[in-house]
Chains A and B, each alone.
Chain A
Amino acid sequence: MQLSSGLSPRRSKLWYRAWAAVFVLMLAGSVYLLYYATKQVDYVWRWYRIPQYFWYVEQVETRSMLDGDIAAVEQGATGTVITVTGLDGEVERYTVPGGGELRVSQGDMVSSGDVLGFHEVQHVGIMVEAAWLTLKVSFLSIVIGIGLGVLTGLARLSHNPALRWTAITYIELIRGSPLLVQIYIWYFVFGTLINQLLGKYGLPQPSALWYGVASMAMFTGAYVAEIVRAGIQSVHRGQVEAARSLGMTSFECLRHVVLPQAIRRILPPLAGQFISLVKDSSLLGIIALRELTKATRELITSNLQPFEMWFVCAMLYLVMTFALSMLLQWFERKWLTS
C-alpha cells in the first residue's frame, strides 16, 4: 500500500478490516496448531520453571560446628550474632545476616550441624547472565567493528595501492568464509599461537571472550567497510568538486561535506549489520562462551523443557535486537533533523 499508493484503486474500510482479521486469524491459527501438536506428543508445558533462570532466591543456612549451648543472641552490626559455648568450653560466634530468620534462642542446646538460622540471598539467573555476556560481546564487537570498518572503508577508496589492496584482501577473505570457521580459526589457531607466544614471554593470556570478540569484530568490520564505502560513494561527485574548488583539503572535504551526508545513508544498513551481529554471537557457544544460546542448551539438558527454553531464548534475542533497532532509529532521526 505504501509502495504504490498512486497505483492502488480506492479501498473501502471493510476491505481493510477484513484483511486485518485474516492476519489475526492466521496468527492465532499458527499458535493453536503448535499447541495442538504438542498435546499430541504429550509435551507438558512447565512455564513456572522458567522465572528461576532470570532471578532466584537462595536460602542460606547458618549451622553450628559445635555441640553445646547457645550462650548469647545479640544484635551485631551486620546481623544477629549467636555465641555457642562447646562442651569442652570452646566458644564460637556465628552471624545470621540482617533480615534472616533464627531457629534457636538463648539457652538452647545444639549439636554439630544443627541449623541456627536462615537468610535469603537474591541471585541473578543463568539466562540473565548469559544475555549480559551476549550484550557485552556484541557491544565490544560493534565498537571495534565500527572503527575497523570506517578505516577499511576509507582505505578501500584510497588511491594508495597498498592501502586499497589491503582493504580488498581483508574484505574478500572475511566475506568469503563462514563466520563459524572464522571463530574456530581465531580460537583454535590464532588463540593457540598467541597464547603460546605470550606464555613464552610470561605475559597474561587473553581469555576466550577476547578471541570471540576478535572474530566477531573482524567479521563485522569487513561488512561495515563495504557499507561505509557505498555511503561515501553515494555522495555526489559534485559535492567533492565544490568543496575542493573552494580550497578545502581532502580531509576537510571528507569531514565537513562528505561524511555528514554519507552518515544518513550509512545508518540504516549499519543497523541491519549490528542486528545480525547480535544474532551471530550465538555461534560463540562453540568456544565455550556461555552466551544466551549456549546457556539455553545447557539448561535444557538438565530441565528437559526444550520448547519453553528455546522460545524464551528467541524472545531475549528479539528484545535485544529490537532495542538496538530503536536506538539506531533514534540516532537517525536526530541526525536527519540537525
Chain B
Amino acid sequence: MMKESTPMIRVEAISKFFHLPHRVVALDKVSAEIVAGEVVVVIGPSGSGKSTFLRCLNRLEYADEGHIWIDGVDILSPKTNINAMRAETGMVFQSFNLFPHKTVLENITLAQQVVKKRPKAEAEHKAMALLERVGIPDKAQAYPDRLSGGQQQRVAIARSLAMDPKVLLFDEPTSALDPEMVGEVLDVMQNLARDGMTMVVVTHEMGFAREVAHRVLFMDQGRILEEGTPMHFFTDPQHERTKLFLSQIL
C-alpha cells in the first residue's frame, strides 16, 4: 500500500469531558496521524474512549480541547462548514441506523439528493452501483426491517459510500450482528481497504485487525497506550495493560 506523507487525519491533543453528573475524562490529550489509504483499527476495553475518539473525528462529539484536521481542514473551527466535512467523512454505526421509513434505495439516495443536490436518476444510478458492490442489488425496493442485520449493515456502508467520502469511520460495525453475518460485512470492509479507502475502525474483531489493518491503536482510560503494526501488536505488545487485554480476549 502506497502511503502519502501528508496525513488525511491529524489529531492533536484532543480531550473530551463528560459530565454525568460527575466529570469523566473520556479522552485525555489524544494525538494521532492517519495517512490516506491507511486502515487503522482501534481496540481497547469498553469505556476506554475508542468510540468517543471516532465520534470526535466527524464532530458527532465536539472535542473540548485540541485540534483535528481532516484533509487539511480544521474541523473544530467555527468557520468550517461541518456539514460539508461530515459528508466527506462517512460513518457506519453499530446499530446500522438505516432510515426505517425509506426503502433501501431511498436510504442511499436521500443524502445524495438533499446534501449533494444530485438529480434523482443520477443518485439512483449511483445507489444501484453501490448495492451491486456490497452484493445486495435485489433488495433495492425492500424496507430495512425486511433485511438481516448483515444486509442492513452493508446498506449502511453503501449509504456512506454514496457521498464519495475521503474517510470512512466504523463504530463497532459487527458487534450487533449474529455471528454468521459478521463475515459478509467484514468482506465488504476488506474490499474497501483493498481499494485504498482510508478507514478508522473500532472493533473487537481481532481477525480483521490482524489481516486488514495497517496499524492498530490500543486505547485505555482515554489514552492511546500503544500503537503499531498488527504483527507487533499481537506478537510483541510492550505495555502491561495491552498484554492483559490480549490475554483476556484471545
User: A residues bordering B, Cβ < 8 Å?
Assistant: 236, 238-239, 241-249, 252, 256-257, 260-261
Q: Is the CB of B97 within 8 A of A238?
A: yes
17 example contacts (A-B, Cβ-Cβ < 8 A) are as follows A239-B99, A242-B91, A242-B93, A243-B99, A245-B58, A245-B90, A246-B86, A246-B87, A246-B110, A246-B115, A247-B85, A247-B88, A247-B115, A248-B115, A252-B114, A256-B110, A261-B100
Q: Is the CB of A257 within 8 A of B99?
A: yes
Q: How far is the CA of A247 from the CA of B75 in the complex (A)?
A: 13
Q: Is the CB of A248 within 8 A of B83?
A: yes
Known: A245-B58, A252-B114. 8 other contacts (CB 8 A): A241-B60, A241-B93, A244-B60, A245-B60, A247-B87, A248-B115, A256-B110, A257-B99
Closest residue of chain B to A255 (Cβ to Cβ) is: B114
B31-63 with Cβ < 8 A to chain A: 58, 60
Residue numbers in A under 8 Å from B163 (CB-CB): 246-247
Whole-angstrom distance between the Cβ of A334 and the nearest chain B Cβ: 14
Closest residue of chain A to B55 (Cβ to Cβ) is: A241
Whole-angstrom distance between the Cβ of A90 and the nearest chain B Cβ: 80
B203: interface (CB < 8 Å)? no
B244: interface (CB < 8 Å)? no
Residue numbers in B under 8 Å from A261 (CB-CB): 99-101
B160: interface (CB < 8 Å)? yes
B221: interface (CB < 8 Å)? no
Most A CB atoms within 10 A — which of B95, B114, B115, B156? B114
Interface size on B, residues (CB 8 A): 26
Residue numbers in B under 8 Å from A238 (CB-CB): 93, 95, 97
Residue numbers in A under 8 Å from B95 (CB-CB): 238
Residue numbers in A under 8 Å from B84 (CB-CB): 247
Residue numbers in A under 8 Å from B97 (CB-CB): 236, 238-239, 241-242
Q: How far is the CA of A246 from the CA of B160 in the complex (A)?
A: 7
Q: Is the CB of A249 within 8 A of B99?
A: no
Residue numbers in B under 8 Å from A236 (CB-CB): 97
Q: How far is the CA of A242 from the CA of B93 in the complex (A)?
A: 8
Whole-angstrom distance between the Cβ of B128 and the nearest chain A Cβ: 18
B111: interface (CB < 8 Å)? yes
Q: Is the CB of A245 within 8 A of B99?
A: no
Whole-angstrom distance between the Cβ of B201 and the nearest chain A Cβ: 15
Residue numbers in A under 8 Å from B115 (CB-CB): 246-248, 252
Residue numbers in B under 8 Å from A252 (CB-CB): 114-115
Q: How far is the CA of A266 from the CA of B87 in the complex (A)?
A: 30
Q: Is the CB of B99 within 8 A of A248?
A: no
Most A CB atoms within 10 A — which of B90, B110, B156, B160? B110
Interface string of B54-89 (1 = CB under 8 A from A): 000010100000000000000000000001111111
Pick the residue among B91, B98, B100, B114 that contacts A245 (CB under 8 A). Answer: B91
Q: Is the CB of A246 within 8 A of B93?
A: no
B83-134 with Cβ < 8 A to chain A: 83-91, 93, 95, 97-101, 110-111, 114-115
Closest residue of chain B to A250 (Cβ to Cβ) is: B83
Whole-angstrom distance between the Cβ of A35 and the nearest chain B Cβ: 53
B10: interface (CB < 8 Å)? no
Q: Is the CB of B83 within 8 A of A242?
A: no
B159: interface (CB < 8 Å)? yes
Q: How far is the CA of A226 from the CA of B115 in the complex (A)?
A: 31
